[in-house]
Chain A
Amino acid sequence: MARKVTSRHVVVSTAAAWLFGFLIFLPILWMVLTSFKTELDAFAMPPKFLLFHWTMENYATVQSRSDYLHHALNSIMIAGGSTLIAMLIAVPAAWSMAFAPTKRTKDVLLWMLSTKMMPPVGVLVPIYLIYRDFGLLDTRAGLILILCLGNLPIVIWMLFTYFKEIPKDILEAARMDGATIGRELVYVLTPMAVPGLASTLLLNFILAWNEAFWTLNLSTLDAAPLTVFIASYSSPEGLFWAKLSAASTLAIAPIVILGWFTQRQLVRGLTFGAVK
């Protein structure tokens, strides 16, 4: 960036940035606007931008449909459950690789990351058959299991990088101060790792919430999260856009907002350290 920044530079940059930002955000904005319209207004041509009768009736309809809440609850449980279980497995694994590394550690880590690179469709058939035979189809447990395994490499990777950033000598200082390994973990490591743990939890919750391959293929109704529920709107049942928009806004709003807080973690988690 130049040292002396002309005001013309700022004006041009600002105008351009806001223009492109707005264009990119437009679909989301349009969806949110539509959610406050009546169905007739939603379908109207030319489209109504801001001057329409704003109503909350769509939200009321969506919320009163008990199946919406059912699916929302599924999303929470599946995203939450799979992430928490993944964390339980990943924390010891990441600790071990960060603080007790061996010559093989790097290879193990790379291997773990490579499991995330396998296309899910490559194992769709056996997973589907196994799930069918074990009665796991359309169960929350089944989805939690597979999403947990799917995200496990990313969780381990992110925790590994956060643990690596904890200066080794602070842990050694704790040891010199008389702390056993257990107390070192409780009094020193965990407090220092909490921000990293929180970020990892958040990002992977988001990734699990948005997962749209296994959820679409392995659930239909009982265990279906919001990804599936919204997909069922794809066969049009007459005028329904406003309701679709309302349901969609509800489904994505918390995640998009949370996502705004995880930008840095996104880079860390999904580029596997290949970009600093």
Chain B
Amino acid sequence: MGQITLQGVRKSFGPVNIIKDANLDIADGAFVVFVGPSGCGKTTLLRLIAGLEDVTGGQILIDGRNVVDVPPAKRGLSMVFQSYALYPHMSVRGNIAFGLKMAGLPRAEIDRKVEAAAATLNLTPYLERKPRDLSGGQRQRVAIGRAIVREPKAFLFDEPLSNLDAALRVQMRLEVTKLQKQLGTTAIYVTHDQVEAMTMADKIVVLNAGDVEQYGSPLELYERPVNLFVAGFIGSPKMNFVSGEATGRNDAATLGIRPEHLRVGQEGEGWPGTVSVAEHLGSDTFLYVDAGKLGTLTVRYVGELNLKAGDPVWLSPDPARLHRFDKEGLAIRT
């Protein structure tokens, strides 16, 4: 019911290409996250699907039907905005009911659905309040309530959690994921936070300056990134990239190894360096190591490692987890 396909979708503003050539197949019921740095086009892509912007070329199919010339009001999608975009002059009830009212449903049915949605989101005590009398988290839930009550073909989320404080964000992340699984509706979720992407998504679309760099499950992106960009974007702390003679290898232009896969070894084994900063979190230890010609390497050690600034270390990468990239930045697969 909520299958979305993008074929050759392009968007430009004059000479500037915001989206270059997007081809995606989003399965019904999937939770897909668009992620990338600022300006990569993820929000534009979302708005193209929503119909709030016109495509410059290509097709957008919703359940097989090309909607490129269909206005947003008729596409059967719901959107949750970053600023929530609640109607300030209407109560919570009015906000949630608005879409149903536009659809011409009878009053009794509207009330029933609104109350059901409010109950799911714990908004029942606030139904008669106006948005200005609600907290950020409550407004967020009203925005979600407004989206779910119309039973759309898909939900579109535009960075909905970025205006919340850290603790609330973690809580809402879980709630949104649970809700989506419960409803089984397709969801497209835009965020710049790769942790949100990794934790919530069934599949992730990594965008960079208008290009779809990779489309796959979180684990695929983590274990088999197709290029330097994806490898460096996914994973926190960032993957270490080294190149040149000092690596001791010549089978790749660039080597990549994640901080959690760099082993601190015995003297003489691997690459030498000096600890410049050591962070002890108790659960993990992060080392920032000055490795001369190889630059600064980040090491993540699970547990406590008794090293401090100035200590010499020897680092060796886990060979099974080493990534190799050619001079175009593409991953070399054996």
Contacts and interface: CB of A to CB of B under 8 A. Distances in A.
Interface of A: 167, 169-170, 172-180, 183, 187-188, 191-192
B102 A179 contact: yes
A180 B52 contact: no
B323 interface: no
B140 interface: no
B113 to A, nearest CB: 14
Interface residues of B, number: 24
B191 interface: no
Nearest to A194: B89
Interface stretch (B60-68, B72-80, B174-182, B209-217): B72-80
Contact of B83 (A167, A177, A191): A167
Interface string B83-121: 101111100000000110011000000000000000000
Contacts of A187: 98
Contact of B99 (A169, A178, A180, A188): A178
24 contacts: A169-B81, A169-B85, A170-B85, A170-B86, A172-B81, A172-B85, A173-B79, A173-B81, A173-B85, A173-B146, A175-B51, A175-B73, A176-B50, A176-B72, A176-B77, A176-B99, A177-B78, A177-B99, A177-B150, A178-B99, A178-B102, A178-B103, A179-B102, A191-B89
Nearest to B47: A172
Contacts of A191: 89
A176 B95 CA distance: 13
B304 to A, nearest CB: 47
B244 interface: no
A175 B87 contact: no
Contacts of A173: 79, 81, 85-87, 146
B85 A177 contact: no
B71 interface: yes
A167 B150 contact: no
Contacts of B99: 176-178
B146 A177 contact: yes
Nearest to A188: B87
Contacts of B81: 169, 172-173
A169 B156 CA distance: 14
B144 to A, nearest CB: 12
Contacts of B51: 175
Contacts of B79: 172-173, 176
Nearest to B103: A178
Nearest to A175: B72
Given A172-B85, A173-B81, A175-B71, 12 more contacts: A170-B87, A170-B88, A173-B146, A174-B87, A176-B77, A176-B78, A176-B99, A177-B99, A178-B74, A179-B73, A191-B89, A192-B88
Contact of B98 (A167, A169, A172, A177): A177
A233 B8 CA distance: 78
User: Most A CB atoms within 10 A — which of B79, B85, B103, B150?
Assistant: B85
A184 to B, nearest CB: 9
Contact of B89 (A172, A178, A183, A192): A192
